Structure formats: C-alpha cells, structure tokens
Chain A
Amino acid sequence: MDLIVIKNLIKTYATGDTSFNALDGVSLNIKHGEFVAIMGASGSGKSTFMNMLGCLDKPTSGSYFLDGIDVSKMSMDELSAIRNRKLGFVFQGFNLISRTSALENVEMPMIYKGIEPEERIKRAKAALKIVGLEKRESHMPNQMSGGQQQRVAIARAIVNDAPIILADEPTGNLDTKTSIEVMEFFVKLNAVANKTIILVTHEPDIAEYCKRIVRFKDGQIISDEKNSYQKGLDSLDKVNSEGIL
C-alpha cells in the first residue's frame, strides 16, 4: 500500500444558507520517497487539502489512509499523536515559538512524544547540525535571519523521524537566494534521507525542484504529472561534489 491513499475526499464549508465544497472529490496516492509539489491559485482548495493531509482538519466524507491507518475518522487527540509521529510541518511564516531558543524549538515535538530530556537535547542538537545551525542553538528566533529560522523549522520537522514533511509555501517569505538554499535542502532530505516531501507553492520556479506536480482548481485535481526534476538533479550534483550530508 502507498504511504498516502486518499479516495474521493470532500470538504464542505457551510456559510449561512449556502454551502460550498472546498474539496470536491479528490483522490490521490503518494508513494514513499516521493517529492510532490501542489500548485494552484488561491481558493483552488490546495490549502484545505494541505490541512487534510496534515491531519489538522477532518474531511466531510471520503477516506484518507496514512501509512496504512485510516485517519479520516480519528478524534482530534488521536490526530495529534499522528501529527507528532508521522508528519513534520514547515510553514511559510516559519512558526517558531518566539522568545524560545532554536534548541528548545527543535526539542518541542519530542516533548509531546514523551522522550526523556537528555535524549531530547542530544537529538535536537543532531538535527540542528544537519541544517547547519549547530552554532546557533541558543539563539532566539528574532536573532536569526529568515533562512536560518526556516532551517530551524526544518530541523523541528525532521527531529521526530517523521516519514512525511509537509511544507506550506516554505519559500514564500524568503528572498531568491535563500529560497534556493532551502529548496536544495529539501532535495537533499528527499534524496539522502528518503523523506517523502509534499510542498505547496504557487511559484513555478520552486515546483521545478520537485519530482511530481499536482495542480488544483475549484477543489479538484486538474493535472497530476511527472516533472523533469532537472533543478533537483543539478543541486544534487552540487551536493555530491561538495560532499555535504
């Protein structure tokens, strides 16, 4: 079975007398190790779909199997545990907890998993090292640049060994140069650590780093195609020559 199996997902929002389907029968399978870009204009349903994928919201109907588990009918508390163990989030606005050090931000998912403090610190330090921020572990979010903050967020997303990373416009708040750095990092995570990465973006440049592009319009998938992945391959060449990771 594929890592993500979604069948005929419908999400209805009722506004007064009228109701409208933000998701209107979406079916999608994603295999382990895929690198998918989800594209679409605003209002296309891609954010709603991302919330469903991230187990932050429950569908009105349809089924969603994540790693073989039917999560579409779980309670909010059960979904919390799924988010904690199976998913890592990277947001557009970084969403680090303010006035809390990088190390403590990275530690947080492990606190909710119930991992012992010493083990937590060890693993958080290792994750920060992977994103190249081992020297900034005691920095507060407001003492770091946008790119650094996003790398802390990535460290937080991978620290619990979640198989899936969900990135919602991860480069939306970053300049072009930093965007490329972050995207190259995702490519590495996908290629080297074999993480499944699902990324929402509206920038074609960013989508070029992905292996598969799924397009949304009016709550439905209008195209689902393989991508040349040329930018991804280029950045991997660079990685190999530099010997990082």
Chain B
Amino acid sequence: MIDFESTFKISLRSLYINKMRSILTSLGIIIGVSAVIIMLSIGEGAKERINKEISSMGSNLLMVLSGSTTSSGVRMGSGTQPTLTIKDSEAMLKRCPSVLEVAPTVGQVQQLVYSNQNWSTTVNGITPGYMPIRMWEIEDGRSISQDDLKNTTKVAVLGSTVTTNLFGDMDPINKTIRIGGMPFKVIGILKSKGQNGMGQDQDDTVLIPITTAQKKLFGTDFPGMVKHISVQAKDEESLESAQAEITELLRERHNLGKNKDDDFTIRNFTQMLETAKQASNTMALLLGSIASVSLLVGGIGIMNIMLVSVTERTKEIGIRMAIGATAMDIRIQFLVEALLLSLIGGLIGVFIGIAGSKIVDLFSDMTVIISPVPVLISFGFSGLVGMLFGYYPAYKASLLNPIEALRYE
C-alpha cells in the first residue's frame, strides 16, 4: 500500500497536467456549492426578517376588530360598525385568564399643523397598555399616563416620521401642535420601528389619550366606542384559548343569540407571521434543493471526466500495475483524484458563495445571512459527491488487466 502523501502528489499532478479539463470539471461543483450557499443564505435572511417583524409588531398578539355587522341584510366589512367599547376591553382583562394585557384603540386620519408645516396621518387614541403590547418605546420625553386618560389632557406622542415632517431638526417636546384645529402639547417622541411586513411606515403615527380622542377630538356618535382592541396573550400556547375566551365573553356582553353572527372579528397576527415563517422555511428548502441538483449534475460531470481519464490513461495504469501497483493502489489514486476535483471545486464554491451572498446583500433589498452550517454542509456534500461519482471510474480502473492495459495504444 502506498503512502497518502505520494498518492496525493500523483493525483494532484495528473490534475495539473490536464489543467483546463480539471477547471471545467470543478466548475460544476463550484456552481453547485455557491448556489446552495447563496440560496440558503437568502432563505435564512427571509426567516430572520420575519422574526424581526414579529418582535417589532409585538409578540403573542391578537387583534379584536369591531364591526362585521349586518344592517338591512347588507353585510358590512369589519370595523364599519363600532361595536367594541372600553368596557369590553376592561372585561377581557378581568375575566379572560389567558389575556395578559389589553389596549383599546380608536384611530382617525387627521390634519396636523405646526407653525407653517402641516402633515396628514392617523391619530390613535390609546391607553398606556398600548405601548408594551405593540413594542413601542419612548425616544425622548414621556409616554401617555393613566392621569392623562383620567383628565382627558390634550397631549400627543409623535412618531419619528411625523416629527421630521412637522419639526425638521427642531426639538418638538413641549411645543404645541394642532390636530384637527385643536391644540395638543407634544410630550414625547417614539423610537423608530421602520417599515412593517407590508411596507407601511410604522413611524407615521400620533398617539393621544383614548379619552381625549373619544370625548374631544373625534366627536363620535357612540361614546366609549373603540375601533379595535390589541390583546396580548400570556404566551404563544395560550393564543388559541385567549381567542376562545374573548369570543365567548364578547358574545355574552353583546347579547348575541345562538343564531347571530359575531359583531367583531379576532385576528391572530402572531399565527399569521408564524405561517409566513413556515412558508419562507419551505421556500429556502426548495431553493436549496434546486441548487443541490446542480451539485449533483457537477458530480456527474466528475464521473464523466474520470471515466474518460481512465480510458485515456489505460497504458499508464498498465505500467503502474507492471511496476507493482496493486488494484487498491490504482483505485485509491483515481478516487483521490475525483475527491480533489470536488473538494477544490467545493472550496472555491464556498468562497464564491459567500462573496455572492454579500453581493446580493449589498445590491438588493433582500436580507442575506451567511451562517456556518449551510457552508459546511454544502462543502461536505461536495466531498460526498466526489466520493460517490468518483468510485465507479476508480473501480473500473482497478479491474484492468495489466497485460491488456500495457498493450493499449
């Protein structure tokens, strides 16, 4: 049996002798490995983006929307009929064990004016619980307090987009803006959250006390009505039970008989995002498997070239056998050659894959995350491919009869 170093050298040199052919053969593996890495990095990035979205929207979140009532036989969309009240939300907090926190909200688009600047955006009337549920944090100043609610004070917390549009570089704290003609004092600025999954600017918002919104600003026909209630469940497992408890509670509170439809809608946003996460996982897997098919094709290329090489070098094999190479020596030599082709290709593929992922990251909106596991897996896979597809040609070479091989021209 010959030593590893010599086998390695012999194989490397015969690959070097046929430089062009070796490079072209490796190209299949290079493309395969880099494609797998880029695809999996994009998949990983998509997953990460959804995770981020979940955490920016708030975790374990249910949205209870009013409406979806039937008036004179015409079924209206959700939110068309204000059927939810602050009392409903208080009852939820008290009587539904799976509910951790509630945040009733009313909202309307209003015109904002400061000095000679104006801006139109959704003004949300909220309770203090809204902030933690929806993952809002205060950048500067203070948040809306229980006292503000009690006293229906005219104070506002601005999102960063609104701040920029109304104030530019000025500090808005303690300045007075007009919302729908009514003066409000700015008490705080929200920390920026950026876009949500649908591409909407989450920072384009103004928060005011819900009581002020209901009683002073919006002048609703239905006192105490809210547009929707954000509900935070205790944990992910209790989302389902919270939904059931709220449905039961609201049907009872709204005196809905057995045959009547719900006059509210509950949306499970966390679940929706979880579904999106699964979809992106499936997508990443799909892309990865398509890319690995090209790795497989690269392997077939290696087998093809190794078979040609064995035929071409029949005489060399005969000489080696006459001089004392055993069948195993010949088999190992050709196997090492195939392995070198695939591993060198794999290594180059890793570099191109990482570089390609970085380029995609730089020049597109996609989030790309290169993690070591896909890199290692695809590199290992390239070795496996070389081993599998290199075995048959190597086996064929080792079966040659030395006399016939020597006679081969």
Interface residues of A (CB under 8 A from B): 51, 54, 56-57, 76-77, 80-81, 83-85, 89, 91, 95-100, 108-109, 111-114, 117, 156, 160
Name the distance in Å between A164's Cβ and chain B's nearest Cβ: 13
A-side contacts of B2, CB under 8 Å: 111-112, 114
23 A-B contacts, Cβ less than 8 Å apart?
A56-B406, A76-B327, A77-B328, A80-B326, A80-B327, A81-B326, A83-B322, A84-B324, A85-B324, A89-B322, A89-B323, A95-B315, A95-B319, A95-B322, A100-B13, A108-B320, A108-B323, A109-B323, A111-B6, A112-B2, A112-B325, A112-B329, A114-B1
Q: Please tell me if the beta carbons of A54 and B322 are within 8 angstroms of each other in the complex.
A: yes
B-side contacts of A56, CB under 8 Å: 322, 402-403, 406
Which residue on B lies nearest to A54, using beta carbons? B322
Complex Cα gap A119–B329 (Å) = 21
Q: Please tell me if the beta carbons of B324 and A97 are within 8 angstroms of each other in the complex.
A: no
Complex Cα gap A202–B357 (Å) = 69
Q: Please tell me if the beta carbons of B6 and A77 are within 8 angstroms of each other in the complex.
A: no
Complex Cα gap A89–B402 (Å) = 13
Name the distance in Å between B336's Cβ and chain A's nearest Cβ: 14
CB neighbors of A among B1-20 (8 A): 1-3, 5-6, 10, 13, 17
Which residue on B lies nearest to A48, using beta carbons? B403
A-side contacts of B344, CB under 8 Å: none
B-side contacts of A100, CB under 8 Å: 13
Complex Cα gap A108–B6 (Å) = 10
Given the contacts A56-B402, A80-B324, A114-B2, A97 and B319 also touching, CB distance less than 8 Å: yes
Name the distance in Å between A166's Cβ and chain B's nearest Cβ: 10
Q: Given known contacts A56-B402, A84-B323, what 5 new A-B pairs fall within 8 Å (CB)? A: A56-B406, A76-B327, A95-B319, A114-B3, A117-B6
Main DSSP-derived SS at the B contact region? helix
Interface size range on B against A: 20 to 34
Complex Cα gap A89–B27 (Å) = 40
Q: Please tell me if the beta carbons of A81 and B406 are within 8 angstroms of each other in the complex.
A: no
A-side contacts of B406, CB under 8 Å: 56, 91, 95
Q: Please tell me if the beta carbons of A109 and B13 are within 8 angstroms of each other in the complex.
A: no
Q: Please tell me if the beta carbons of A112 and B323 are within 8 angstroms of each other in the complex.
A: yes
Among B10, B13, B324, B406, max chain A CB count under 10 A is at B324
B321 at the binding interface (Cβ < 8 Å): yes
A-side contacts of B326, CB under 8 Å: 76-77, 80-81, 112
Q: Please tell me if the beta carbons of B17 and A99 are within 8 angstroms of each other in the complex.
A: yes
A-side contacts of B13, CB under 8 Å: 100
B48 at the binding interface (Cβ < 8 Å): no
Name the distance in Å between A159's Cβ and chain B's nearest Cβ: 10
Complex Cα gap A108–B323 (Å) = 8
Complex Cα gap A109–B325 (Å) = 8
Complex Cα gap A54–B107 (Å) = 98
Which residue on B lies nearest to A82, using beta carbons? B324
Sorted from nearest, which 7 A-B pairs have the closest CB atoms?
A: A84-B324, A112-B324, A80-B326, A77-B326, A109-B323, A111-B6, A99-B17
Name the distance in Å between B5's Cβ and chain A's nearest Cβ: 7
Complex Cα gap A51–B322 (Å) = 10
Complex Cα gap A29–B223 (Å) = 123
Given the contacts A91-B406, A95-B406, A113 and B315 also touching, CB distance less than 8 Å: no
Q: Please tell me if the beta carbons of A83 and B6 are within 8 angstroms of each other in the complex.
A: no
Complex Cα gap A51–B1 (Å) = 23
CB neighbors of A among B302-322 (8 A): 315-316, 318-322
Q: Please tell me if the beta carbons of B324 and A83 are within 8 angstroms of each other in the complex.
A: yes
Name the distance in Å between B367's Cβ and chain A's nearest Cβ: 50
A-side contacts of B319, CB under 8 Å: 95-97
Which residue on A lies nearest to B10, using beta carbons? A111
Name the distance in Å between A67's Cβ and chain B's nearest Cβ: 15
Complex Cα gap A112–B321 (Å) = 10
Q: Please tell me if the beta carbons of B403 and A51 are within 8 angstroms of each other in the complex.
A: yes
Cβ 8 A contact of A113, one of B17, B324, B327, B402: B324
Complex Cα gap A241–B408 (Å) = 43
Interface bits B261-298 vs A (CB < 8 Å: 1, else 0): 00000000000000000000000000000000000000
